[in-house]
Structure 1
Amino acid sequence: MSQYVDDDRTMPRFRVNRRAMTDPEVFEKEKELIFNRSWLYIGHETELKKPNDFRTRNVAGRPLIFARDAKGQIRVWINSCPHRGAMLCRQPSGNARFMTCFYHGWSFSTAGDMVSMPGDASYGPDFERPGLAGPAKVDSYRGFVFVSFDHDIVDLPTYLAGAKEYIDLVSDMSEVGMEVLEGTHEYSCRANWKLLVENSYDGYHAMSTHQRYFEMVVAARGSLDAGAVLADSRAIDLGNGHAVAAGSAGSGSIFGRALSPEAEAEREARFERLRAKHGNAWVDRLNGSRNMVIFPNLVIIDLVMGVVIRKIDPISPDYMEVTAWELAPPDEGEELKRQRLDNFLTFWGPGGLASPDDVEALETCQRAYASAGELEWSDISRGMHKPTVATSDEFQMRTFWRRWNQLITGEELPPEEHEPLPEFWRAPRLELATEESVAAG
């Protein structure tokens, strides 16, 4: 048995040793064996609308420049001058043809080429003028841009595995392509980063932790049968440590305040147009909810009338920083957009009615881990014995932990066996649906 994971299929029981949340040696292993060897999210292409736009981001502890060069190509550079190491870009975002180091004045284009250096003649004609350095790999899928610092990592589509399908579901919600809205949620949490990974697709905590939010929803709607919605849901292993907690058709909006008749009509009209393109079954899935974690630290949540992109950055064993954005359809009307944003901001973010609850819960967990010598294990067993697993079970977290354990210890645990997914959860995306296929669903 791994010193960190107890995966007992006989009882059945699944436990995680709390040292995985507190031990500095574990944290150092995570940096080397997970974050240095995975594909990691840096940003969405729509954040860089014009040539020479840039954003600065930290990924796996490294300062990076996320940019679109003068020809429109997405680029990622290490935010460090090759001369003496000073940061080139010290602003979070901007637009500039050249990036000039304030220390000694070396200047580079957004394509990474050196364009000037003061006293150039002092270096001699044969001196190699260095350009900017970048990560080992940069690639994107449906506008989501990833980097990896591992030259030998598998290609991005292979790494994403079944997560590609759920990125498709999110990306297909617009007829013209989804875009990240201006504005960023930034907050921190004094807890281990893996606790927020678990929390991000944990349906079990929703009603108890977010009671005040659901009281507001019930008051606004008149009623809310959340139990039925959670029962008609699935937790799904997407491969390579990725997993999703997915809800059935209509579950994405039921947990928020109801839309006005006009806004609902506009939303339904867009879905009808999407049915003509992708088929009824795919759009029924699209009209559901999904809380997905792409291993190790990217969260994509489509719930409460908005899509959250959340990047979790481990800083120390008991401290993380969180950055989040909203992905939205730019082709919706102003009134629908207003009502969606109102729902989104009421629930999400450091000023919402839900995220502060989660931060408080995770920080109390971390403080309680001071007693890990007396209470050594956390239990993540819910649903192991069931033929099907819902979002209120903990299968999705066990999927994460089995991959984590494999990378940290080398021990590969067998996958968990449950009944095959019903047809609804397997409906394919159609590029161009015929009239007959739309009618058939």
Structure 2
Amino acid sequence: MNATANPNEPAILVDQSKNIFKVARRNFVDPEILAAERERIFERSWLYLGHGSEIAKPGDFVTRNVAGRGVLFTRDAKGEPRAILNTCPHRGMQVCREKKGSAKSFQCFYHGWIFGLDGKLRSQPGEEGYNEDFKTRDTSHMTPVPRFESYRDLYFISFDRNIMPLSDYLAGAKEYIDLVCDQTSHGMAITPGTQEYSIRANWKLLTENSVDGYHASTTHASYFDYLGGTTGAPIGDPTTRPPGYGYDLGNGHAVIEYPAPWGRPVAHWISAWGEKGRAELDSIFAELASRVGQQRATRIAKLNRNLFIFPNLVINDIMAVTVRTYYPSAPDYMQVSSWSLAPQGESEWLSKYRLQNFLEFLGPGGFATPDDAEALEHCQRGFANFKDVPWNDISKGMNTDRPLHRDELQMRAFWTQWNGMMFPAPVPQKSSVAA
């Protein structure tokens, strides 16, 4: 198959009149589809780099792999955040070889060239062997990432110089980022440590899974049994709880927002946390209500959100706040990184429960992630039959004006954006009439 659009092999099949939305399973297995995704999706989108708290002080840095590129995320001597391609302009070596730290400059191990926190060449051994203006040339410095912007201390990069501003790109997702960041007046911060793991499945399966409220009660049945037996959380029948809903946020972003039986360190108490815990959470809620109003405080504290930002960022504001990215290495293999995001200055007691929730549900050894990974890997194995059974169906909820969080509007939002970027419709040509 050619990686360009082929009208005889549609990537998605949509018939609104019959409430049909299907996705071709070849999208999950074809190497040429992945090659086109790298060019048309990851090269042309805003991609999450990191949180400002990770480079809190001048000289702080972290190194990240973003869509196959090594990026140095640092704060320069003037306190300005920077995103620099981690490649020496001399012979191409990776300049910074540490995952994180603090430095006054960066020295290339190969030939000793020294660069400032802004990526500018400061000195090099044997300077007399170079032209006197060598250090002033743009090509002598480390290269900044083409576009670098932030929203609420979340930093993104893009390799497309002409991409729309980040604020416009985020569209309706900004409302839900605000709900996370407004949990505290002290600012949010990444908890030290990173979870890194891999799944033998196509990356788009994790996109779907991350905003799929339909699978929770079956795939994660053991977790709900655990909650009912050990935490005092009132599980009950999930269909009897107040409904949650799914929302298309524009530009491929989507969210599900819903009530759930577990506790939330922001201000949702459960009996397992005792009366001392109730008093602390009541105090947090009172401060939250005085700052943002009773209605917004209730939404922040009592509802959960799985937010997806196209193409590969998930912010799970559930028992704890998890920030997660994932990148494909092959059509059937992805690498996942996740971090815990928490209010700065949170008490030791709340921090303990937040980290416990971060580990026990979404951690690579928790209740949810191994279940999800197994489900996705078995989907990938099932796709071996894609020539005989070629379509996935994600039409659930198309027959209603307000899809529930257990419906599949969120997946349709992603796939519509994906299809538009992968296989754009031809631009109509204006006819010209000779004078």
Q: Identify whether the pair has TM-score above 0.5, normalized to the shorter chain.
A: yes
Structure 1 position 398 matched with structure 2 position 408: no
1:343 deviates by 2.4
Where 1:260 maps in the other structure, the secondary structure is helix
User: What residue number does 2:3 align with?
Assistant: none
User: What residue number does 1:116 align with?
Assistant: 123
Structure 1 position 48 matched with structure 2 position 63: no
The verdict on how the C-alpha distance between 1:334 and 1:222 changes in structure 2, with shifts beyond 3 A counting, is closer
1:91 deviates by 1.3
User: What residue number does 1:139 align with?
Assistant: 149
Q: 1:339 aligns with which of 334, 353, 357?
A: 353
Q: 2:313 aligns with which of 298, 305, 319?
A: 298
User: What residue number does 1:21 align with?
Assistant: 28
1:354-398 CA distances to partner (integer Å, 9 max, x unpaired)? 111111111111111111111111111111112321111111011
Q: 1:7 aligns with which of 14, 18, 27?
A: 14
Where 1:121 maps in the other structure, the secondary structure is helix
Q: C-alpha root-mean-square deviation of aligned residues, in Å? A: 1.9
Query: How many residue pairs end up in the alignment?
Result: 411
1:255 deviates by 11
Gapped regions of structure 1 (runs ≥ 5) = 413-441
Q: 1:237 aligns with which of 245, 248, 260?
A: 248
Instruction: Answer whether contact 1:230 1:391 (CA < 8 A) is retained.
Output: no
**Partner Cα separation in structure 1 for residue 19 and residue 56 of structure 2:** 51
1:88 deviates by 0.5
**Partner Cα separation in structure 2 for residue 396 and residue 169 of structure 1:** 19
**Partner Cα separation in structure 1 for residue 240 and residue 87 of structure 2:** 49
User: What residue number does 2:173 align with?
Assistant: 163
User: What residue number does 2:433 align with?
Assistant: none
Where 2:273 maps in the other structure, the secondary structure is coil
Q: TM-score, normalised by structure 2?
A: 0.91
**Partner Cα separation in structure 2 for residue 170 and residue 229 of structure 1:** 26
Matches within 5 A, 1:350-365: 350-365=364-379
**Partner Cα separation in structure 2 for residue 315 and residue 222 of structure 1:** 39
Q: 1:246 aligns with which of 235, 257, 277?
A: 257
1:248 deviates by 4.3
1:119 deviates by 0.4
Instruction: Answer whether contact 1:235 1:390 (CA < 8 A) is retained.
Output: yes
User: What residue number does 2:284 align with?
Assistant: 270
Where 2:18 maps in the other structure, the secondary structure is coil
1:256 deviates by 8.2
Matches within 5 A, 1:15-414: 15-127=22-134, 128-129=136-137, 130-220=140-230, 221=232, 223-225=234-236, 227-228=238-239, 232-248=243-259, 253=264, 258-287=272-301, 288-304=303-319, 306-411=320-425
Instruction: Answer whether contact 2:233 2:271 (CA < 8 A) is retained.
Output: no
Q: Following superposition, which runs of at least 4 residues in structure 1 exceed 3 angstroms of deviation?
A: 228-231, 248-258
1:113 deviates by 1.2
The verdict on how the C-alpha distance between 1:20 and 1:196 changes in structure 2, with shifts beyond 3 A counting, is same
Instruction: Answer whether contact 2:36 2:422 (CA < 8 A) is retained.
Output: yes
The verdict on how the C-alpha distance between 1:56 and 1:392 changes in structure 2, with shifts beyond 3 A counting, is same
Where 2:41 maps in the other structure, the secondary structure is helix
1:123-155 CA distances to partner (integer Å, 9 max, x unpaired)? 121335511101111010001000011111110
Where 2:26 maps in the other structure, the secondary structure is helix
Give the letter aligned to residue 237 of structure 1. Answer: D
The verdict on how the C-alpha distance between 1:170 and 1:104 changes in structure 2, with shifts beyond 3 A counting, is same
Instruction: Answer whether contact 1:229 1:248 (CA < 8 A) is retained.
Output: no
Identity of paired residues, percent?
46
Where 2:17 maps in the other structure, the secondary structure is coil
**Partner Cα separation in structure 1 for residue 300 and residue 243 of structure 2:** 15
Where 1:204 maps in the other structure, the secondary structure is coil
**Partner Cα separation in structure 2 for residue 400 and residue 256 of structure 1:** 34
Give the letter aligned to residue 85 of structure 1. Answer: G
Gapped regions of structure 2 (runs ≥ 5) = 1-6, 427-435
1:145-197 CA distances to partner (integer Å, 9 max, x unpaired)? 00011111110100001111110000011120111000110000111100000
Q: Indicate the larger mover: 264-273 or 108-117.
A: 264-273
1:11 deviates by 1.9
Where 2:389 maps in the other structure, the secondary structure is coil
**Partner Cα separation in structure 2 for residue 116 and residue 347 of structure 1:** 49
Instruction: Answer whether contact 2:269 2:277 (CA < 8 A) is retained.
Output: no
Instruction: Answer whether contact 1:81 1:87 (CA < 8 A) is retained.
Output: yes
Instruction: Answer whether contact 1:68 1:75 (CA < 8 A) is retained.
Output: yes
Instruction: Answer whether contact 2:242 2:259 (CA < 8 A) is retained.
Output: no
Where 1:10 maps in the other structure, the secondary structure is helix
